[in-house]
Each structure stands twice: as C-alpha cells, then as structure tokens.
Homo-oligomer: A and B are copies of this chain.
C-alpha cells in the first residue's frame, strides 16, 4: 500500500514538474524567439498554468500525501521530496488564496510601472506600488512566522538557514575589510588602464568565442543551447535541457565573455543534477546562494584569473586581431580586474560588488521591520551608497530604481548574491586542496574542476540544504575570511601594495 502511495505522490509531483517545464519553455521563448504580438495571449496561458502549479502545491491531495508519507518511507528521494513539498505547502497554504491572487496581480503591474519609472527617473510613480509590495511582504512574513527578526521569514525563501543574526555578524566584518582594501587600491600608483580594452569586437566572433569557452567548461550542447537576450540568464527546463543566453556589446566584449561564463556556471549546476531526481522538486539548484556560488566561481575565480588568460589570451585575440593583437597579456589582465566604485550593481567589479549588496540588505531589513518608510528610500539609498561604496548616485535611475527585484516583491533575495560569493571562496579554498588549481586552469582542461563541482555540489540538486552542502564540502560554517583573503591576495598583486 505504501508503495502505491509513493507512486501516486510521485505522479502528482510529476504533473507539477511538467507544468513547470512548460512554463520554463514559455519563459525562454518569450525572451528569445516569440514574435512581439504573441506576448499578450502567452501571458494569459502562463497565468493559467502558474495558477495550476499553485493549486497542486496547496492541494488537499498534496497535504494528504505529505501527512501519510512523512517519516513513513525508506526511499531517500521520496523522503526529501516530502520535506521540500511540505515547505512549499506551508509557505503557500498560509497565505489566503484571495490575498495571493491580489499579490500576483500587483507584482505584474508593478514591474511595468517600475520599468517606466526607471526610464523616466520618477520614483514617485513607483512609490505607491512599492509601499503595497512591502506591506504584503510584511504580512506574508507574519503568516510564515519567525523566531527573531521578521526579515528572517523572507530570507528563508531564498537561503534557508541564513538569518539576520548571521548576516549582521558577517556583513560588517566583510565591509570593514573591503573598505580597507579599497582604500589601499585607491592609493596605489600602479593602476590598470581600462582604455586598452576598448576596441571593436564583431558580434559573430564574440559568439564563437563564447561557444568555445562554454564547450571547454564542459557545458553539454546536446543538452543546451546559447542565444541572445537583453538580460542574460540560464534556465534549466530539465537536466537535459539547460539553456543559456548572453548579450553582445561590440564595443565591450566583457559583457558577453564574462556574462556567458557566469550563466554557464549556473547551467553546469543544472545539467549535472542527478537525473534520478527528474520530475521532483529536488531537480533544481538548492538555493539562490549556492547557484550564485557556481556562476561566480566560474566568472571570477576562474575567468578573471591570470592562469585562465595565460591559456586563453591567444584564442581570445585570434577572434579580434584587429583590436587586440598588439595588447600584451599583463595590461589586459590588469584592465579586466580594475576596481572602481560605480553606481550600478551588475556592472560592479569583484571587490565593490558585495558592498552594493549590503546597501540593499540594510534598507530591506529596515523596510520590512517598519523602521524606515518607502518615501524616504531614495535619500537613504544615496546616503548608504556614499557610506559603503564611496559615491553618491546622481539620480534614482542609477540609484534606488536600478534593480528589478523589488518590483517583483523579491525582498530577501539580494543577500544571496553576497552569500554565493562567500560560498564560492570557501569552495575555492577547499578545491585547492584536491586540485592544483592554477595548473589545471593554465592547461585549459577544466574536467577535474567540473567533476569536483558535480561530485560535491551539483549532483545533489535540492537534496541538501545550502548550509549543509557548505559544511559537508568545507567542514565549516559560513566564513567570510576566505573571500576577504582571496580578494586581498588578488588585488595585492594587481595593485602592488
């Protein structure tokens, strides 16, 4: 009887996963292939099928399976799938259906309003939407419950196990170290010259180079493809269909090269999840933070390293000889690692990036706790930027309005970017004990790295929680020292201090 029950439970999960795969394909198609006029009908279809997914997640049937199977199965996958389904059930079922529906509508309207507000540098038009979004998130956080801080309930959506208490200990430490580092860098007389990177790089050549790098990373093109979009992303429809997109800027190759490698890191994660988890909620990366650790690992620890370019610089130049044939490796390497405070998070360098995240974290936490008001955000944002990054945005488009996340009601998401970066540094340090990292990178054969990541991280999908993976792999809890040391080491050489 229990076997039959397990089968029925898996069937329900499969139905849900099938809808999610269809939704994933529609999402991808809308951003890559769909003709313009298709969007409005397609949005309705997406709305209908999303509602179906929500219904299954919160169904009495799902509840019954969870209750009957919890603590009552020998099958490890089913056990974990029950846990995960229970979490989703509880999160969703605690929100009254009517409120959820209103919230979904608010989200979809708010994103359009935000887009226009950003374009017109007009915070006031977005303000009432943001106020409602914050209010809903406060309400949801109370429905979900929390022990210490209301913001913990939101963090738990993206990085289960990480709390305000953890972040309030870690972030200030990191900030202090990075600020000190930034000062040294700014005082250095050995500055990179980023102008050497200017030069025309034809789109088709950037595409070829991107494809070649993805291939070398071990990305499986029989289980994926590369396309072009305005906002690059990676999406796993299933482990055998993980698609990557990138963006080409003919005047600045960095957008495509580092963007592709970043998304490729996400994609490798999804491609290498244990296929036995297919059609269960475990067949995805376990958290935003762990996902980001993979993309940043490839983008920064590998692709911005000296060893990487020692191997790949000739290949790179062969695709754009007109612009780079006379440029030497050393100034090239220094230029792609220039540190310079800037307004826009997604354009930030490796060092100031975490500071951007901390600005958002402090504001989100205070907003959700009701300690600051939405109307004061623009000023508070600029003050924090000045305090943390050292520059003051000149307008809201390059300030508080720059990111899409809040318009979608995603509060608690930003910290995972910084957490992912710290995880990546911890994995990197651990990996160096198993693999002669620089040597492998210099040889241009990433097989052992890919295998290490698959073995230690990728294969598990969502079987393990993020902090569980971290401690299983590194034997430690979250420890920001690894990131700080990595950055110190790296920039000491580049800026010679």
Contacts and interface: CB of A to CB of B under 8 A. Distances in A.
Interface of A: 14-15, 18-19, 21-22, 25-26, 29, 33-38, 40-42, 44-45, 48-49, 52, 220-225, 237-241, 278-279
A11 B435 CA distance: 58
Nearest to A20: B45
Contacts of A38: 223, 237-238, 240-241
Contact of A41 (B21, B29, B36, B42): B21
B29 A45 contact: no
Contact of A241 (B41, B52, B225): B41
B36 A22 contact: no
B221 A41 contact: no
16 contacts: A18-B44, A18-B45, A22-B25, A22-B45, A22-B49, A25-B26, A35-B225, A35-B241, A37-B220, A38-B241, A40-B240, A41-B237, A41-B240, A41-B241, A42-B238, A44-B279
Nearest to A36: B222
A221 B25 CA distance: 21
Given A14-B48, A25-B25, 13 more contacts: A22-B26, A22-B49, A33-B33, A35-B221, A35-B241, A37-B222, A38-B241, A40-B240, A41-B237, A41-B241, A41-B278, A42-B238, A44-B279
Each complex incorporates copies of this chain amounting to 2
A497 B42 CA distance: 55
A18 B241 contact: no
A241 B37 contact: yes
A220 to B, nearest CB: 7
A42 B279 contact: no
A25 to B, nearest CB: 6
A45 B278 CA distance: 11
A102 B35 CA distance: 38
Contact of A223 (B35, B224, B239): B35
A469 B161 CA distance: 65
Given A25-B29, A29-B25, A240-B41, A224 B35 contact: yes
Contacts of A18: 44-45, 48-49
A35 B279 contact: no
A235 to B, nearest CB: 12
Nearest to A225: B35
A44 B239 CA distance: 14
A45 B33 CA distance: 21
